[in-house]
Structure 1
Amino acid sequence: MYKNNINLIYNKLLETYSYQGWWPFIGYIGVNPTKTGAINGYHPKDYDFPKNNDQKFEVIIGSILTQNTAWPSVEQALINLSKLIDFNPISILNFAESNENSFKDAIRCAGFVNQKFEYLKNIAKFYMNLEREGEKRDKVPSRESLLKVKGIGNETADSILLFAHKQKQFKIDAYTKRIFSYLGYIKENDNYMSIKNFFETNFSGDVNMFQEYHALIVEHAKRYYSKKPYGLNDKILNEFKINIY
């Protein structure tokens, strides 16, 4: 039943909000299907993104900048950075080490500037090391190796793997916990990996659907799960509410 419901919930959200076209890119005009968040950059039904290594690294940078920060602030930080650097590890690291103040000023709008400055340097070094070891930037790093990079936790690692490297990793965020604990499938205080395993076991979608599911969860949660009591007036998903716990 749970497996079927997780897929049915996806179908219901897709029917309600349509294709979201995540990840948004600052250099792509695109379209915003739901008129919330960023204005441009989305690409509904086009799953060829990221289309080059610079776009791939834009996702990686954005995955770090969006920690504890709303997307519009991240978008502005990316726009600021794009005027100073190319989105690749060498450019990131060289500019960060030679123009620290300018770099920090560019990302200040995304908050936690000192932490994120160091985290961006760390991820740049990580990808540079992959290349030094004979790897290519189009090779997918392991989840375990990403988690060893200071500043990369479970959610950021899954974001990088799902949206930059197109891997079937289910990204769990606070919205996911709020929706599915309200519906009764998990406890909100369950640990990250148990929730991740629950979705990856019960959702039968391909990687494109994994991307859509996360985006649809965010869109739905912004409407019904941003303020307590979470789920108030959520008539869209109430039919799927169960009592496991």
Structure 2
Amino acid sequence: MTNDKAKLMNIYDILYSCFGPRHWWPADTPFEVMVGAILTQNVAWVNVEKAIRNLKEADALEPSKLAYMDLERLKALIKPTGFYNQKAPRLQHMSRYIVERCGGRVDSLFEGDMYEVRGVLLSWPGIGPETADAMLLYAGNKPIFVIDAYTRRVFSRLCLLPSDVSYEKAQAYFMSNLPNDVQLFNEYHALVDELAKRMCLKRNPSCGRCPLSQCRWAQKEVLADA
């Protein structure tokens, strides 16, 4: 039986060969990544792009500008993402922390021990493990693996993780079986999401066309045509 480290790298190599580099996270600055990580909660990325465009056109995509913007105006700018009544105060709390505690410098926020920074992010309103880790990886260039619903779906169908696996156990599985490399974690997460969006759909997955059908160790019943 192929060990988990070899399986995970086999999956990565196949997905990279199939989809190529994903250039994720698409943003001009680390702060834009952090804003996007909050805005993408419970919504498709296409809607986040609309909100980001609104913020850029309003010349508001900076910590000092978002921190003290009129709340109703901010809600209007991010309305395409939905849940704007919750997301606007979260953006302002984050921005004020960066301004008041980090001198307005995002790089200052990410200095020091990764897990101490993670604790700070998790203390912010509305920030859970997935959002915090996305900020750490994509904005802070910290070596932490992001787990999302797509990851659980793909790897439970490959019988590598239980479908009800906790965030912490899923993350530990990847981080204990992959090299501790920021770029690898970045690309791996993006490739898995691309696979899930294209083929590993929640309903009617295209298992017969899945590039991971090349994995000889995968259980046949998982990768067979529905």
TM superposition score normalised by structure 1: 0.80
Quick check: 1:180–1:186 contact (8 Å CA) kept in 2? yes
> Could you tell me how far apart the structure 2 residues matched to 1:226 and 1:242 are?
18
Match of 1:201 among 147, 151, 176: 176
> Could you tell me how far apart the structure 2 residues matched to 1:146 and 1:176 are?
22
Partner of 2:22 in structure 1?
Answer: 20
Partner of 1:118 in structure 2?
Answer: 89
SS at the partner of 2:211?
A: coil
1:81-130 C-alpha deviation (Å, 9 max, x unpaired): 112234222110121xxx22221111010010101011111211222243
Instruction: Report the more deviating stretch, 166-175 or 197-206.
Output: 197-206
> Could you tell me how far apart the structure 1 residues matched to 2:13 and 2:97 are?
37
More helix by share: 2
Amino acid at match of 1:105: A
Instruction: Report the more deviating stretch, 233-242 or 217-226.
Output: 233-242
Match of 2:43 among 69, 94, 97: 69
> Could you tell me how far apart the structure 1 residues matched to 2:87 and 2:142 are?
24
Quick check: 1:9–1:237 contact (8 Å CA) kept in 2? yes
Amino acid at match of 1:87: L
> Could you tell me how far apart the structure 2 residues matched to 1:242 and 1:143 are?
36
1:2 equivalenced with 2:4 (yes/no): yes
Quick check: 1:170–1:196 contact (8 Å CA) kept in 2? yes
How far has the Cα of 1:57 moved from its partner? 0.5
- Relative to 1, partners in 2 of residues 1:71 and 1:94: Cα closer, same or farther, differing over 3 Å? same
Unaligned runs of 5+ in 1: 26-49
Partner of 1:102 in structure 2?
Answer: 73
Identity of aligned residues (%): 35
SS at the partner of 2:144?
A: coil
Partner of 1:90 in structure 2?
Answer: 64
How far has the Cα of 1:182 moved from its partner? 0.3
Quick check: 2:55–2:78 contact (8 Å CA) kept in 1? yes
- Relative to 1, partners in 2 of residues 1:196 and 1:227: Cα closer, same or farther, differing over 3 Å? same
Q: When the two structures are aligned, how many residues end up with a matched partner?
A: 210
Partner of 1:213 in structure 2?
Answer: 188
Partner of 1:127 in structure 2?
Answer: 98
Quick check: 1:93–1:121 contact (8 Å CA) kept in 2? yes
Amino acid at match of 2:41: Q
RMSD (Å) for aligned C-alpha atoms: 1.9
> Could you tell me how far apart the structure 2 residues matched to 1:143 and 1:177 are?
22
Partner of 1:144 in structure 2?
Answer: 119
How far has the Cα of 1:209 moved from its partner? 1.4
Partner of 1:232 in structure 2?
Answer: 207
Q: How does 1:37-48 map to 2 (within 5 A)?
A: none
How far has the Cα of 1:181 moved from its partner? 0.3
> Could you tell me how far apart the structure 2 residues matched to 1:231 and 1:148 are?
40
SS at the partner of 2:207?
A: coil
Unaligned runs of 5+ in 2: 112-116, 221-226
- Relative to 1, partners in 2 of residues 1:20 and 1:162: Cα closer, same or farther, differing over 3 Å? same
Amino acid at match of 1:137: V
Match of 1:59 among 33, 40, 43: 33
Partner of 1:161 in structure 2?
Answer: 136
1:31-53 C-alpha deviation (Å, 9 max, x unpaired): xxxxxxxxxxxxxxxxxxx6xxx
